């Protein structure tokens, strides 16, 4: 019997820059779950006791391989001038901002694995609407 795969976890190194601070190398995880097929998670500081998790649209990361996209809290910018080429993910919260650089090859490999699980445009087939409504009603109580 073949075991079904429902998630992708991809570990890589990230270069994190916060204004006024030196650049820091941190272990990062890119995560994807078929239960939440439209989103990806960037987790910084793994395996610390309290890593920092950012959730945003998988499509934002996909488009960000080729052009600058996003507004508000998350921007994704391709950077091909450096060696190796990287994807810059700008994370904003309140008055703080962090620039996270991850090698483009790592982001591409991660996205390829997610698209193998859930092809682009097929995300809706993986959404459990009954569970989503139940969770919303539970939160409202």
pLDDT tens track for 36-46: 898 999 999 87
| Residue 58: closest CA among 7, 133, 5, 134 | 7
* 42 bridge partner residues: 30, 54
Task: Indicate if the pLDDT at residue 114 is higher than 80.
Answer: yes
For the segment 62-88, what is each residue's pLDDT rounded down to a tens digit? 999 999 999 889 999 999 886 789 999
For the segment 115-137, what is each residue's pLDDT rounded down to a tens digit? 998 888 666 555 555 555 565 56
* 51 bridge partner residues: none
| Residue 30: closest CA among 97, 98, 112 | 112
**Residue 95 near residue 9, CB atoms below 8 Å:** no
């Amino acid at each position: 019997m073949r075991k079904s795969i429902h998630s992708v976890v991809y570990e890589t190194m990230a270069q994190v820059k916060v204004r006024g601070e030196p650049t820091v190398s941190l272990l990062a995880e890119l995560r994807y779950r078929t239960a939440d097929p439209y989103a990806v998670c960037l987790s910084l500081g793994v395996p610390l006791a309290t890593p920092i998790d950012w959730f945003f649209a998988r499509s934002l990361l996909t488009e960000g391989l080729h052009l600058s996209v996003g507004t508000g809290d998350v921007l994704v910018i391709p950077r091909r001038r450096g060696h190796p080429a990287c994807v810059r993910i700008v994370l904003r919260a309140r008055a703080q901002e962090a620039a996270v650089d991850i090698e483009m090859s790592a982001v591409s490999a991660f996205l390829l694995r997610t698209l193998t699980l859930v092809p682009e445009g097929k995300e809706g087939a993986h959404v459990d609407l009954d569970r989503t409504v139940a969770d919303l009603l539970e939160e409202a109580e």
